[in-house]
Structure 1
Amino acid sequence: IQNYLVNLTAQMTISPQYAQVGVITYSGNTIANGGVILLNSNANYTQLMNAINGLTWTNSTGQTTSDIAAAYHVISNVMLRPAQGWRYGPTFVIVLSSAFNSTLYNGTYNNAEIQHLDSMAHIYGISLNGYGTGSQGFLTHYCQTVVTVSSPTALTVTSATSMNMISAIDSQYKTDRFPPLPPLSSVQADFIFVIDQSKEMLASDFAAIKTFLVTFVMMWDSQNIGINGSQIAVVSYNSQSILTQSSFSLNSYTNGQDLATAIGNLPPILSAQPDSDIAKAIKYVNSYTLSAAQGRRWWKPAFVTFIGVAQNLTNPLDQSQIDMLNANSQTFGFDYFEYPTTFQYLAQITGNIDLVERISDFDFSKPGVQNYLTFVEYIWRDWANSNSKRR
C-alpha cells in the first residue's frame, strides 16, 4: 500500500498551491499511532514520499472489523480544516479497506459522520479483498463509489482499478467549482521583499523592481496600508551586508502614497561582487524585520518574497534559519535572471520548487507574477477562514 501511495502521488505536483495529500491509518478500535499525515505536513513530493514510507505498520491480527466511522470523524473534523492545510476546494477521500465489516459504533452505521464527510469531499472506496461491497456492504454504505481488487498487491497505479479511479477523479475535478478567491485589495498581511543587489543587479533592473513594488502597493486603497491593513517592508542586501539605506521596516509607512514614494526613493547600491550573502539576509529578517518592534503582527499572515540575482553565495545557507523563517512566514522566490543556481538555492529556502518563479521582468501580465498573486490570495483566504488564527 505504501508503494502504491508513493507511485500514485508521484503523478501529482505536490505543493501548497497544487495537490496536497493526507493519510490516515486506522484499525478496529483506534487511529493507528504514527499513522496520520496532515495535508500541510509536506511541501513537496520528496517530503511526502518520505512521510508515506515512514508510516508505521500496526499489527491487527485477530481483528476482522475496522472503525471506519472513527476515521471519518478524524478526516472531517481534524484533517479537513484550514489550520491543517484544507483549502475548501475539490477534495477526494480514497478509502483502502481490508476489513470484513465495520465496527458498529453506537449501534449504527454513523449516518451523521457519512453525511458530514460527503458534504466536504468525494469519497472513493477500494476493497482490497472483496469484503464490504455489494448493496448491503459496509464499504458501499460509507463510500459514494466502490471497486474491488483481489488483494493489496493487485492494486498498482497501472491496474485497471487505479486507472479508472484516477480518470473518475480527473473528470470530477474538472467539473467542481473552486471557491472564489478574495480580491487582492482585501488581503491584510505583512509583506517583506528581500532584494539581492549584488553585481548582476543593475540600476535599471532595480528600477524595474521598484515599479513592480509600487504597482503592488497601489492594488490597495491608500487607507488600507498600515496597522489595520497591509504592511510592506524592503530588505536589500549584497555580498557584504544588509543595505539599510535601501531598506525600510513594516511599520515605517501608514498610507499607500507615502509607501509608494518611499519605494520610488530607494537608491540602487551598485556592487562589484557577483555573489550575495542571502544567508545573512535571512538571519536579519528572522531577528529584526519579523519582530513586533518593527511592525510584525502575529495575527496576520506574513509573506517573505526573495528576488535573487546572484549565481553564487558568499556564505552557505543555514538550514536552522530557513526552518525558522518558514515557521513564521510564507516564503516565495523570484529568480530574476533565470539562473539555474539561483533557482536551486531559492528552492531550498522556500522548501518547494513550485514556490520559485523564473522571471526576467515583473510585468503583471506574466504568469510568474500572476502565480505569485494567486499564492497570496489563496493563503489569505485560508488564513481568514481558519478557526485557529494566531492571536
Structure 2
Amino acid sequence: MSPSPVSFRHLQRLTDDTGMLEHALGIIPRRKEGYSTDDQARALWTCLEWLDRVEGAEARILYDLTDTYLSFLQWVQRENGHFHNNIAFDRMPEDETPSDDCLGRCLWASALALVKLQDKSRTIAAQDLFEKALPRVSGMQYPRGQAYALAAVALLIRSGRPPGLMPVAESLAVRLLGSYRRHAKPGWHWYEPVLSYSNGVLPWGLLCAYEVMEREDILAVAKESLDFLIRMSVNERGQIRPVGNRGWCAPGHRAQWDQQPVDVMKLLLAVSKAYEITGDSGYADIARRCRDWFYGDNDAGALMIDAEEGACCDGLGEDGPNLNKGAESTIAFLLTEALYRKLADIHS
C-alpha cells in the first residue's frame, strides 16, 4: 500500500491553547474529560517525527503544536521532576498516584525534542524537562516506564549529549533483563505474567539499549521477546491481531477484542527498530501488516481511520470500530504512518 497524504486536522481539533484533549465523541472533543500528560508527550513525539517529512504550512502547524505540548509538559512537571498526568478541563490537577509510564513517556519525548529540534530557543525547554526528570529514573518500578526511559537515555548517548548517561542506561537494562528472567519460561517469553497494553515498548527499549551497549545478551532477550509478541499478535490469516483489552493474555487465555490502535503502533515501533538493527526483512513485513491493520486488514475487515481528518477510531470490537476518535488512537495512527514511512526509506 503506497503512502497517501496525511492530515493533521484532527490533531489540531483536539488541541486547544492548553494542550491536547484526551477524549472525543465521534470527532468532537469532549472537554469535560480534560487532558492527559501522556497524550501531550505522545503528541509531541508525533510532531517531531512528522517535522522530518513536511515543510511550509504543515511544518508551521506542527511547530505551533510542538510549542503547546512542550509548554504543557513544563507546566505539569513537579519540583521533584515527576509529571502530573491527569488534568481537568479547568486546568486543576486531579488526584492520582505518580505514574512510571507517564514519566517514561515524558523523558522519551523531551529527549527526542533535544535531538530533533534545531533552534536553541526550543531545545532549552526540552533540556530542562529532561534534566529535572532524570533523577526520578532510579525509583522506577514498572517495566514500560523503564523501557521508555532506557530508549530516551540511549537516544541521547547516540547523539553525544549530555555526557555521563551510560550508567543510567546500564541500570535500566539490568532491571528490564531482570523482569524478563523472573517471568520467562518455556512457551512464555515475556517480562510479566500477562501480556497487557503497549507491549512492543518493552523489546523496543532493549533494542535501543543494544544500539549503544552492543551486549549480545540484551539483543538476545529483545529478539526472543519480540518474536514471541509477534507470534501472539498475528491471527490465522496472517493479519495483525493485538492482544485484546478485554481480558489481556496469559498462558491458556487470550482476549481477541477491544483491540487498541496504540498496541499496533507499539508493535510497529519494535519491529522497525529490530529491522534497523538486524536487517531481517521479516520484521519489515510485520511493520507493513501493522500499518495495514489501520486500513482494514484486520479481524473485522474494518477501516479504522478517517484519512481526510487524520483521525482514528478508539478501538476494534466484534461489532466493528469504536467510532469515537480520541487522542491516543489518533496519535497511534499518525505515529504509525510516520514510522512506517521512515522504515520504507531504509528498506527501499
Which band: TM-score by shorter chain?
under 0.3
Give the number of the structure with larger relative contact order, counting CA–CA contacts within 8 Å between residues 6 or more apart.
2
Pick the structure with more helix per residue: 2
Normalized against structure 2, the TM-score is what? 0.27
